[in-house]
Amino acid sequence: MLPPSHSSGEPRPVRVPVATYRLQLGRGLTLARVRELVDYFHALGVSDLYLSPIMMARAGSLSGYDVVDPERIDPELGTEEDLRALAEDLAQRGMGLLVDVVPNHMCITDPANRWWYDVLENGQVSAYAGFFDIDWSPPKRELRTKVLLPLLPEQYGRVLENQEIQVRWQDGRFVAAHGPTWLPLSPKSWAAILQPAADATRALLGEEHAEQLELDSILTAIENLPPRTETDPERIKVRQREKEVIRRRVDEQLARSPEVRQEVERSLEGLNGHQGDPTSFDRLEALLADQAYRLSYWRVAADEINYRRFFDVNDLAAIRVERPEVFAAVHEQILRFVERGWVTGLRIDHPDGLLDPEGYLAELQRACRDALARGGLPGADAPFYVVAEKILEHGEHLRASWPASGTTGYEALNLLDGVFVDRANARAFGDLYVRLTDRSPSFTDLVYDCKKLVIKVSMSGEHWVLARRLDRISEQHRWTRDFTLHSLLRALTEIVACFPVYRSYIRPEGGEVDADDRRVIAAAVRAAMRRNPAVSRSIYDFIRGLLLGGEPLPPEVEEQRRELVLRVQQLTGPVMAKGLEDTAFYRTYPLVSLNEVGGSPAAFGAPVEELHAGHRERLARWPDSLVATSTHDTKRAEDVRARLNALSEIPTRWEPAVARWREQNRRHKEMIDDREAPDANEEYLLYQTLVGAWPLVRPDDAEWGTFVGRIQEYMLKALKEAKLNTSWISPYEEWDEATRRFITAVLERRRSDNEFLRDIEVFQRPIAQAGMLTGLSRTVLKLAAPGVPDFYQGTELWDLSLVDPDNRRPVDWDLRRRLLGDEPTSASRERVEELLGTMEDGRIKLHVTSRGLACRLRRRELFARGDYVPLAGWGPREGHLCAFGRVNGDDVVIAAAARFFLRLGAADRRPVGEEVWEDTVLDLGALPCGTYRDVFTGRKVRAVSGDRDWCTLRLAEVFAHLPAALLERVG
């Protein structure tokens, strides 16, 4: 039985994409460059482009998610005029434009973030202090009214006395500079610089000199400036006004008076200290102590940081978009683009980081409707097309109450991949992994351990804040006041580590906690108690009662409880993401293709019935949700995963191959602290990665060098994410370099005795063949599935990229345009035969993608709302089939895809025709008999009724040329 429908009775957005194409913008792919490619995307068959964030990010950003100014387009990407021109070109072709919005964090290490830099300059009295989630009253007395800035490479005192922090006059202000980073100095603290200069100029110019009088007047103005701890609103306004006057006056005097400038420079020279003379830095230390921030070694962030971050990234500070003024400031420009009709859809980055995702989405929908109404555009009475980057764990559903069109498609990705993993070999792969690596922890236990590690190492500061909140609440009732702070901290750690999903969604306004939230919270508490039987149940019952809202509490305590609940929800998500995706996924990998966002190595494949159930649920509840197979955040590109999924068919060939390679490469390992580097687990990851990413065409020496470098960078990232032998926080250089040298040695192709290289090259060929065929089958299923198929840039050809930044390498657009331009206007079996003959060049995938998208465009309503009919096969090869129909009245399309190609003999022959499929048939069930035409080959096949009362299609005919088909009913 399906969960309650989201879409039932609700209006559909005025514009829903037929298919989207994700572009990762940057210096090499600007808005103007995208405009040059519009005709290509239109010819490919996508209906909407889908851009990474376009608002201003830090200089040189590779992702666009490190936004510094949401009020203007990133100048590295283009101008507002470029966006307008792109939007108009798209509109002329009936295409739309989705834009990625980052509502939950900002980059704070770039001075272009004027909100944050104003906070650093003015502290709590900054007009933007409320934009960021800062605890101005932390337990550490020295941090009160200050922001901890953990950006120094080593201990503060050492950095200071190495003269790595220097005060200078820059762009009309005094700043503290550390390398390329500079920080504003509070104008009230400028007296420490200007007073010594004034004393010196007095001796030079005399008391009555105009420049001396001006400098003394400036110092008086600084003395009378209200402090940054001021609370009176009128006095705060005075400070905001007068500090700008002071800044202007100083700038003008320094430009005008060489005497004043000379003495200010001398004052700065003395202030900045002299290396080897520790006391010479006392003035500088006092000046820095007078700021609204405290500079510190970056390692202290986990324990003492007092601003909420995006995950554990110190450079990214969370913003309080739940506040109306922050929401308005963050979205003002994007909404102007909606109002003008330039932007037709939005993708919301990481809504789980928000205080109230549902409330945010509701406010966003309201703002989009208002924008459309202001612009006189259709859609003011309907939802706007919005998808949320929500990662759903197995069995979890997107909340029906969310005013969005669905997710960015990770659950669809894992469903599609699942049917291409041979479930029958789950035990075999688990056993061979133990034999090869001597690792056999339960994945549940591993995730639990990794989440506790993340809490301890990366997020202990946030965790302590919540524990102290718990402690304050417990003190207010005689039944709970004996719970100690440390016991509450330990219990909360266990509950967060046992949370089965990313987060719960209890609303700020309170009310009844819904059944889903009750279930996941209760499950977390039960698991925590089970893991800690010696701890009193009462403390867990207390926390569960607070999270679920038990007995009525006094109003002031109820407010504290509600704030605690909201903050816990904002912690469980980052802990899950860092513990699962960025730690556990890099520690265990019986079959590494399963370690994907939204997936799990414990879920070794899925039956076809599970795919059908997932598709029917999406059609019933979220018919406009994205269906992705690769994204900018996937751990491996879709075609890498397709190859690795093929490995699941051959455990008895895979294990001896790995054992052989280990023996061949043993001589290249190094002993580091009495251990072999890389270790057996890391080496196993390397071999899977090589099989998955091995070039399709033999590269020349330069290309091979690039490939080796990519593998080295990937492996070093993987090892650091695993946090076992090395890490980002504590890099073990000897281990890193030993691993790098190992990879160089095993992939050295100039050595005639490199037996491993010859061996793996031969071994991977049939895997690559099966991977390409799997990629075609998965593309067909994706094109016909309920939802909106989403294509990541470049994946219309084979893409063997690894995790970012590898998957953000430049795309060869000229190649793709040329290949698409060579596509004939009509489909033919001869064309498919030709493309299969040179399958490595990727043209066959482009052919399947473009023909399939053309079919979707022709039959928009069928694919948008048509019924979904699971289909089955009968005969000796029925287990190699995945098929379903889409039906809208008399309009019928059937998607049929083969799978498990190695067992079909793909290594020795093309898995098509009578010899492979024998008398296996596709049972059409309730679908009509008649003639069907394959959109890829143009070939017609006829469904006939046989001994049974229903129609069948012979798979030898359906798969006569290509083991994947999209069949349109004709006549």
62 or 629: whose pLDDT is higher? 629
Determine contact, residues 264/200, Cβ cutoff 8 Å: no
- pLDDT score for 551: 74
Q: Would you state the structure tokens that stand for residue 794, as one six-digit string?
A: 């470049």
Q: In degrees to the nearest 10, what's the CA dihedral of 385, 390, 393, 399? A: -60
Residue range 630-669, pLDDT digits in tens = 999 999 999 999 999 999 999 999 999 999 999 999 999 9
User: Does pTM surpass 0.85?
Assistant: yes
Determine contact, residues 551/545, Cβ cutoff 8 Å: yes
Residue range 949-961, pLDDT digits in tens = 679 999 999 999 9
Calpha distance 424→511 (Å, rounded):
47
Of 866, 809, 880, 852, which Cα lies nearest the Cα of 966? 852
539 or 11: whose pLDDT is higher? 539
- pLDDT score for 918: 93
SS3 state of residue 788: strand
Element (H, E) at 964: strand 964-970
Calpha distance 664→751 (Å, rounded):
14
- pLDDT score for 1: 37
Q: Find residue 190's DSSP bridge partners.
A: none
- pLDDT score for 948: 59
Calpha distance 589→918 (Å, rounded):
37
- pLDDT score for 353: 95
Phi, psi angles (nearest 5°) of residue 677:
-120, 125
DSSP 8-state secondary structure symbol assigned to residue 586:
G
- pLDDT score for 535: 86
Of 646, 638, 635, which Cα lies nearest the Cα of 597? 635
DSSP 8-state secondary structure symbol assigned to residue 581:
I
Of 816, 821, 846, 814, which Cα lies nearest the Cα of 832? 846
**Where does residue 29 fall: left (phi above 0), alpha (psi -120 to 50 degrees), or beta otherwise?**
beta
Task: Categorize the per-residue pLDDT at 9 as very low, low, confident or very high, splitting at 50, 70 and 90.
Answer: low
Residue type for 341, please? G
Is residue 176 over pLDDT 50? Answer: yes
SS3 state of residue 678: coil
Element (H, E) at 871: strand 867-874
SS3 state of residue 14: coil
Question: From start to end of 548-669, where are the E strands?
Answer: 626-628
Residue 702 exposed, middle or buried by CB count within 10 Å (0-12, 13-18, 19+): exposed
Calpha distance 841→849 (Å, rounded):
14
Residue type for 122, please? N
Is residue 541 over pLDDT 70? Answer: yes
Range in 5-19, 104-118, 434-448, 785-799 the model is least confident about: 5-19
Residue range 303-344, pLDDT digits in tens = 888 999 998 899 999 999 999 999 999 999 999 999 999 999
Residue range 578-628, pLDDT digits in tens = 999 999 999 999 999 999 999 999 999 999 999 999 999 999 999 999 999
Task: Categorize the per-residue pLDDT at 3 as very low, low, confident or very high, splitting at 50, 70 and 90.
Answer: very low
Determine contact, residues 925/892, Cβ cutoff 8 Å: no
Classify strands 670-672 and 67-73 as parallel, antiparallel or unpaired. Answer: unpaired
Q: Would you state the structure tokens that stand for residue 438, as one six-digit string?
A: 């001597």
- pLDDT score for 139: 86
SS3 state of residue 376: coil
What is the pLDDT averaged over residues 766-772? 97
The 10 Å CB-count burial string (b at 16+, else e) for 900-918 is bbbbbebeeebbbbeebbe
Is residue 8 over pLDDT 60? Answer: no
DSSP 8-state secondary structure symbol assigned to residue 579:
I
Is residue 462 over pLDDT 80? Answer: yes
Task: Categorize the per-residue pLDDT at 968 as very low, low, confident or very high, splitting at 50, 70 and 90.
Answer: very high
Q: Would you state the structure tokens that stand for residue 225, as one six-digit string?
A: 């400036």
**Cα angle value 453/457/459 (rounded, 5°):** 100
Starting at the earlier edge strand, list the strands of the sheet with 181-184: 166-170, 173-178, 181-184
Helix 233-256 vs helix 210-223: angle between axes, to the nearest 10 degrees? 160
**Residue 300: CA atoms inside 13 Å, Cβ hemisphere, count?**
19
DSSP 8-state secondary structure symbol assigned to residue 319:
B
Q: Would you state the structure tokens that stand for residue 881, as one six-digit string?
A: 């089939």
What is the pLDDT averaged over residues 54-65? 95
Residue range 203-218, pLDDT digits in tens = 999 999 999 999 999 9
Instruction: Let me know how many helices (H) and strands (E) the chain has, helices first.
Output: 34, 28
Residue 818 exposed, middle or buried by CB count within 10 Å (0-12, 13-18, 19+): exposed
Is residue 5 over pLDDT 70? Answer: no
Q: Which CB contacts under 8 angstroms, 24+ apart, belong to 177-180?
A: 178/151, 178/152, 178/295
Length of the chain: 971
- pLDDT score for 106: 97
Kindly tell me the sign of the dihedral angle through the C-alpha atoms of 826, 832, 837, 839: positive
* CB count in 10 Å sphere of residue 948: 10
User: What rounded mean pLDDT belongs to the chain?
Assistant: 94
- pLDDT score for 98: 98
